[in-house]
């Protein structure tokens, strides 16, 4: 089962970046750097571009660390990949960016994600900042892949609530996870 990454970046209705290929950590870093440079050339608001870059990286880390992988494939195998799609839309008329991602997750992750989002959905930026400090000092959400602050950090950088959608996939116990961030 070959799995690839697809990235499409649009400014207004013009595609400024497209990629389709293997997903690896180094490829994600390279893509994020390329995207940041392109957006800095095309757009004026450098603070927003920084947020777009950071959210792209956070989303990529989530996909690399938590996306469903077919365990029948050896991790060292060239075919060991994760399915992922990214779309970033930039609307210069109102300086809005929308980062959408789509990947596979195990069904039991759905409730964990919902609980994390429910816990932060009504918090303003000040409360989110306070929560980050509190959780950074404690080991309460820490795990092997990080500090457990991803959704909180995403919410801090977003100008609207994080939207998520879960839908069935062809393999039992697997869901398609779609996420939309507004910057």
DSSP secondary structure string for all residues of 80-112: ----EEEEEEEETTTTEEEEEEEEEEETTHHHH
Is the pLDDT at 3 greater than 50, yes or no? no
3-state secondary structure of 4: coil
pLDDT one-digit tens code per residue, 90-132:
888 888 889 999 988 999 999 999 999 999 999 999 999 999 9
Q: Of 103, 102, 99, 93, whose CA–CA distance to 9 is shortest?
A: 99
Compute the mean pLDDT over every residue in the chain, rounded to the nearest whole number. Answer: 82
Q: Give the confidence band of 22 by pLDDT, cuts at 50, 70, 90.
A: low
Q: Give the confidence band of 146 by pLDDT, cuts at 50, 70, 90.
A: low
Count of domains observed in the chain: 1
Alpha-carbon span 101 to 63, nearest angstrom = 9
Specify the higher pLDDT residue, 174 or 44.
174
CB 102 within 8 A of CB 62: no
Structural domain for 91, as ranges: 5-182
Provide the angle, in degrees to the nearest 10, between the axes of the packed helices 46-66 and 25-42. Answer: 160
């Amino acid at each position: 089962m070959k799995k690839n990454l697809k990235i499409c970046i649009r400014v207004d209705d013009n595609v400024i970046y497209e990629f389709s290929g293997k997903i690896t950590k180094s490829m994600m870093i390279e893509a994020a750097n390329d995207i940041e440079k392109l957006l800095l050339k095309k757009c004026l608001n450098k603070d927003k571009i920084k947020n777009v870059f950071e959210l792209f990286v956070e989303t990529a880390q989530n996909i690399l660390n938590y996306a469903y992988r077919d365990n029948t494939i050896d991790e060292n195998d060239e075919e060991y990949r994760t399915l992922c799609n990214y779309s970033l839309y930039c609307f210069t008329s109102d300086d809005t960016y929308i980062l959408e991602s789509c990947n596979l997750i195990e069904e039991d992750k759905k409730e964990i994600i919902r609980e994390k989002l429910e816990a932060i959905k009504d918090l303003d930026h000040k409360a989110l900042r306070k929560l980050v400090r509190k959780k950074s000092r404690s080991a309460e959400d820490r795990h092997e892949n990080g500090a457990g602050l991803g959704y909180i950090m995403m919410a801090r950088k977003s100008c609207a609530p994080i939207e998520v959608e879960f839908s069935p996939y062809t393999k039992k116990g697997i869901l398609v996870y779609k996420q939309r961030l507004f910057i």
